[in-house]
Every structure is written in C-alpha cells, then in structure tokens.
Copies of this chain bind each other. A is one copy, B any other.
C-alpha cells in the first residue's frame, strides 16, 4: 500500500514533507486536508491524527504526525534517500536534531505568530493582535539573527556548514516561505538585514527545484490575492480621505 501524506500545502510543515517525498522520488499519495474548510477537525481525520494537525502520514498500518518526526522516519525507512538529508553519522545527526528542536520554540514560533497576528488572523476568524505581533517580531528577528550567525556560521551553503541540504534546511526554509503572505515591504524589511539567510533560502530552493516552486504555487496565489485585498482597502481609504477633504 502506497504511503499516504495528509497535507494542506498552505501549511509550511506539510510543504516540507511533500517536497521531501518528491525530491527523493518516494511513491506517495497526497491526501488534501483543507484547513480553511476545517477538514482537519473532522472525526475521519481524528482517526489519522488525534491531535488534528497537519501533516500526518499513514504507511501501511503505521501512523505518524509531527513533521520533523515524519521527515526523519522517511529518511530512515525509504531506500534511495541520499545520506545528506539525515546522515547516518551520529554526530552530524545530533546537530541536525539540535537545529530541528531549536526550530519549534524559535523560528517557528516567531514566524507563525507574526504572520497570524499581522495577516492571516481574519481568514481564521480571529482578530489581528498588534501586541502579539510585536512580541512575535522579536522572536522572529532573534531567530533570523541566530540562523545567520550560528547555524550558517560555516563555509558551506547550508545549515551546519553542509554542502548539501538536510531535512533541517528544508523544514526551516519552508517556514520562512510563509512570510510570502505578508505585505511585500514588510517581508523585505524583515529579511533584508540577513544576507546569508537570503542566499541560503535561494540555495535550498535551487537544490529542491522544480518541486519547491510547484509545491509553493498555492502560497504565491494566496500572496497575490492578499495583495489585491490590501490594494482595494488602500484605494477605499484614499477615496474616503478625498471625499472627506471635499466636505
């Protein structure tokens, strides 16, 4: 029975798992679970992942969730996955685990909360929260600074001085791609101080093309849609100001 990957490509860890499967030619079936339609909280999906989060996989009778655990499992179980993704060398592996653990409470927390509280909250039926956004921004900047100065310290193009990407590169870059839905000026303000981070993102994209771009299509569409909404809102504000100035 083919590996099933339950995913919503709007979710960054879902994208990391799908890209990993495609790049490594793992034969899988993608089962779309649309978060915006609340398909992740149905009783059917609870059978797959009782925590109701994406991504999740079913491999034969084996069920698993949490994207880092999934990436490690796929790298270890599927033959043909190149060693650089999750090296058998215990020291290299330990360092990758360290980056992945760090990710949870740092880059992920900062990026998710910032994007939610500046942009996506209304789409989730929540109010925008400027204070939460300000706190998340601090975590995000501190995380980017640590990626630049600690994880990208070596001479290699990838995290931990590697010359080829690991699952940590893929996971963290997919996280940062979520910033695409921000206002473009804001995204540029956040990323522009971090030259190494920008180059590493490019290198990770290049190492996983064409799958990287294909899997991110949905995000670029969402970006265009959100830009239109912003433009309409700005035009409407301008019109109000014009009318008010004539009264």
The answer to whether B76 and A90 touch across the interface, beta carbons within 8 angstroms, is yes
The answer to whether B50 and A149 touch across the interface, beta carbons within 8 angstroms, is yes
Bound Cα distance from A101 to B181, whole angstroms: 26
Bound Cα distance from A51 to B149, whole angstroms: 10
Bound Cα distance from A97 to B72, whole angstroms: 9
Is A150 located at the chain interface by the 8 A CB criterion?
yes
The answer to whether A105 and B108 touch across the interface, beta carbons within 8 angstroms, is yes
With A73-B90, A104-B104, A109-B105 known to touch, is A66 a contact of B97 (CB < 8 Å)? yes
**Distance (whole angstroms) from the CB of A66 to the closest CB of chain B:** 4
The answer to whether A146 and B97 touch across the interface, beta carbons within 8 angstroms, is no
Q: Which residue of B lies closest to A76 (CB)?
A: B90
Q: How large is the interface on A (under 10, 10 to 19, 20 to 34, 35 or more residues)?
A: 20 to 34
Is A190 located at the chain interface by the 8 A CB criterion?
no
Q: Which residues of chain B are within 8 angstroms of A104 by Cβ–Cβ distance?
A: 101, 104-105
The answer to whether B94 and A64 touch across the interface, beta carbons within 8 angstroms, is yes
Is A69 located at the chain interface by the 8 A CB criterion?
yes
The answer to whether B95 and A64 touch across the interface, beta carbons within 8 angstroms, is yes
Q: Which residues of chain B are within 8 angstroms of A109 by Cβ–Cβ distance?
A: 105
Is A212 located at the chain interface by the 8 A CB criterion?
no
The answer to whether B98 and A65 touch across the interface, beta carbons within 8 angstroms, is yes
Is A77 located at the chain interface by the 8 A CB criterion?
yes
The answer to whether B51 and A69 touch across the interface, beta carbons within 8 angstroms, is no
Q: Which residue of B lies closest to A150 (CB)?
A: B50
Q: Which residues of chain B are within 8 angstroms of A72 by Cβ–Cβ distance?
A: 94, 97
Q: Which residues of chain B are within 8 angstroms of A70 by Cβ–Cβ distance?
A: 94
Q: Which residues of chain B are within 8 angstroms of A91 by Cβ–Cβ distance?
A: 62
Which one of B69, B77, B149 lies within 8 Å of A101 (CB-CB)? B69
Is A223 located at the chain interface by the 8 A CB criterion?
no
Bound Cα distance from A94 to B72, whole angstroms: 8
Bound Cα distance from A91 to B64, whole angstroms: 9
The answer to whether A77 and B90 touch across the interface, beta carbons within 8 angstroms, is yes
Q: Which residues of chain B are within 8 angstroms of A95 by Cβ–Cβ distance?
A: 64, 69
Since A69-B97, A104-B105 are in contact, a sample of 12 more A-B pairs with Cβ atoms closer than 8 Å, ordered by chain A residue number, is: A50-B146, A50-B150, A51-B150, A62-B94, A64-B95, A65-B98, A66-B98, A66-B102, A73-B94, A73-B97, A76-B94, A105-B105
A-B contacts, 8 listed (Cβ < 8 Å):
A51-B146, A66-B97, A68-B97, A68-B101, A69-B94, A69-B95, A73-B97, A76-B90
